[in-house]
Amino acid sequence: MTTSVRNLGLALAAAGALSAGAAMAQDVQRGGTAIIQMKGEQRILNPALRASTGVYYITGKIIEPLIDLSYDGYVPVLATEWSSSEDGLEITLKLREGVNWHDGEPFTCDDVSFTAMEMWKKLLNYSSSLQANLEAVDCPDPHTAVFKYSKPMPLQLFVAAMPDLGHPVPKHLFEGTDIMRSEYNTAPVGTGPFKFVEYQRGQYVIAERNDDYWRGEEYPYLDRIVWRFIEDTSAAAAAIEAGEVHESGFIGISLADIARLRDDPRFDVGTKGYENNVAHSTVEFNHRNPILADLDVRKAIYHGLDIDYAIETIMRGYAKPGRGLIPSTGGANYTDDVPTYPYDPELAKTMLDEAGYPVQEDGFRFHLRHRPAPWGEYTQLWAEYFRQAMSEIDIDVEILQNDAPGFLAGVYRDHDFDTANGWHQFRSDPAVSTTVWLRSGQPEGSPWTNQFGWQSDEVDQLIDAAASELDPEKRAEMYHELQRLSMEELPVIFAIEHPFISVTNKVLKNHHNTPRWNSSSWYDLWIDD
């Protein structure tokens, strides 16, 4: 029945043992508390309801996914094997045996089935479109789960989605209750190396060692993890310097402080461990504005942006120029064979002149109302740089500052903007992340989707076809084509590709050793006091 079985379990178990062995060689210290700074606070601690790195940052240690991603590829966690039927309508998972929830109940296929049907399909953002065609999850035995789809589901896509969108939660705690209001949404119960202890809103979350962890008694090494919510970046930088916290992830402190701490021997500063969490800083256009609907204007604007300067001053060098909707960490789906628009303000001016937008009496060619996303320092600076750069090519930009709901409503619901900027994260596979930026027909009000009034049949067809294409090579080609189109048509400028940055106190060992480390379970993290 199954034709393409990829059993990586054995090899990766060996790899795990190897890395563990390496760690042992460094005299692993047991015990201790790791303290982590978080800038934002996700108040729902249920990864099956909220797909967000801010959630995984905490729950990754408590609730494990079926499949995780390592530098060596996808590795089994709660699922040990995965395979797909030829027609792509059925995906079968083998589940790990002998795993218990933190409350002592065994983990079985019923949990996977319940979570998939009740949460992944119905309630989980992003996942609900991914699993839209999921019809049932059958449990032929307690440790086998069969996902049944009404349309073909590429295994590659399924597996790529699982680290983020594949967290099962215990059925026995949720069944028959109002899932959205379950107390376990804020007091998570999972199978992970750490057990939830306490969540003080606005302050901290504490999790402690799970003595009954399935990887064996020696794991985890830490006794406890504490996440502290420190919104103020200066205070956070001070806290990490004062040794009050050990790690600050996802650019939790200002880039100036990151650049400063880079030279401090007490800290590891870098982008390692974020390969799966790459984002694009964007410039978004409202194509309903006839000026911006003109492709030459958009190209001129691109030429007017000194991306390298912005990377150096704003991102402190931790970034590279964007090349369309797929970042360079996108694997086979990525190509750098695309058109580019180097910084050339004179060219930009000429292009604008030719497009019919000469400088007017007031000294400007035209005026733009720009909405910056209020996501913190570098997004703000990027907006202000955009304003600077545009004024150099005689375009006046008025920045309309708003808070998050105001921004989201203004851009994605009311379309009350000319240009906007923000950043958008790439999640392993374009089909579950960036294609929504280009696909037309997105319902009004969905944030981070194509609300730009831009439409291309060719792009739409490519996106749909790629999403259900089972052959990885063909899929990759389609995405290369999409990437080219996105750089040619410039519906959105994917200006800067940047990973996130962590500042880690060197007392932490074994940190940032997977491509989505901050979301992972940290079973092998230890602290050298």
Partner 1 sequence: MSLQSTELAPAEPPRLVVFWRRYSRNRAALLGLVIFTVVVILALTAGIVEPGDPLRRAGAPLTPPFTDWATPLGTDQLGRDVMSGIFYGARISLLIGVVATLVAIGIGVLIGAIAGYFGGWVDDVLMRVTEAFQTIPNFVLLLTLVAIMGSQIEWITVAIGIVSWTAPARMVRAEFMALRGREFVDAARNLGVSNTSIIFREIMPNALPPIVVYASVIMALAILLESALAFLGLGDPNYASWGNMIGQGRSVLRTAPYCAVIPGIAIVLTVLSFSLLGEGLNDALNPRQKKR
Partner 2 sequence: MKPAFPPVLGYALRRLLQAVPVVLLIMVGTFLLLKLAPGDTVDALVGDMGGADAAYIERMRAEYGLDQPVYVQLLTYMGKLITFDLGWSFVYEQPVSAILFERLGVTLLLMATSLTLAFSIGILLGAIAARRVYSLTDNVISTLGLIFYATPSFFLSLLMIYLFSVKLGWLPVGGIKTVAGFYTGWDHYVDVALHLVMPTAALSLIYLSFYLRLMRASVLEVADLDYVRTAKAKGAGETRLMVHHIMRNALLPVVTLLGLQFSTVLGGSVVVETIFTLPGLGQLASQSVVQRDMNTLMGIIFLCSIIVVVVNFLTDLLYARLDSRIELA
Binding residues for partner 1, per CB under 8 A? 233-234, 237, 254-257, 259-260, 313-314, 372, 374, 376-377, 380-381, 383-385, 387-388, 391-392, 398-403, 405-406
51 binds partner 2 per the rule CB under 8 A:
yes
Give which of partner 2, partner 1, none residue 513 binds (C-beta under 5 to 8 Å, depending on kind).
none
Mark 78-87 as b/e (b = at least 16 C-beta within 10 Å): bbbbbbbbee
Q: Is 144 in the site for partner 2 (CB under 8 A)?
A: no
Which CB atom, from 41 or from 105, has the smaller least distance to partner 1?
A: 41
| Least distance between partner 2 and beta carbon 9 (Å) | 30
- Is residue 260 close enough to count as binding partner 2 by CB under 8 A? no
> Whole-number minimum distance, CB 244 to partner 1, in Å?
16
Which DSSP state fits 399? E
Distances (CA, A) of 248 to 173, 237, 257, 268: 33, 9, 12, 11
Nearest residue to 434 (alpha-carbon basis) of 274, 323, 358, 513: 323
The least CB distance from residue 315 to partner 1, in Å, is: 11
Say how far apart CA 491 and CA 283 lie, in whole Å. 9
Of 72, 141, 392, 444, the one binding partner 2 (CB under 8 A) is: 444
- Look-up: residue for tokens 């950043």? 423
397 forms bridges with which residues in the sheet?
A: 368
Query: Under the criterion CB under 8 A, does residue 414 sit at the interface with partner 2?
Result: yes
Whole-angstrom distance, CA of residue 207 vs CA of residue 227: 9
* Beta-sheet strand order (sheet of 247-248): 194-200, 204-209, 224-229, 33-38, 247-248, 502-505, 267-270
Q: Which does 381 bind (CB under 5 to 8 A by kind): partner 2, partner 1, none?
A: partner 1
Rounded Cα distance, 319 and 279, in Å: 10
Q: Which of residues 164-193 bind partner 2 (CB under 8 A)?
A: 180-181, 185-186
Residue 238 as a binder of partner 2 (CB under 8 A): the answer is yes
Relative to beta strand 134-141, strand 90-95 is unpaired
The rounded distance, in Å, linking the Cα atoms of 382 and 319 is 13
- Secondary structure of the chain: what % helix, strand, coil (to 5)? 35, 20, 45
Our CB check for partner 2 shows the closer of 105 and 244 to be 244
Q: Which amino acid is present at 104?
A: G
Q: Could you say whether residue 116 binds partner 2 (CB under 8 A)? A: no
Specify the stretch interacting with partner 2 by CB under 8 A; choose among 77-85, 139-147, 225-233, 491-499. Answer: 225-233
Torsion angles phi and psi, residue 193, rounded to 5: -70, -15
Residue 163 or residue 372: which is nearer to partner 1 going by CB? 372
Residue 285 binds which one of partner 2, partner 1, none, with CB within 5 to 8 A depending on kind?
A: none
Query: Does 131 help bind partner 2 (rule: CB under 8 A)?
Result: no
Q: Is 425 in the site for partner 2 (CB under 8 A)?
A: yes
Binding site for partner 2 (CB under 8 A): 33, 35, 40, 42-44, 50-55, 123, 125-126, 128-129, 180-181, 185-186, 200-204, 206, 224, 226, 228-232, 234-235, 238-239, 241-242, 244, 402-410, 413-414, 425, 442-449
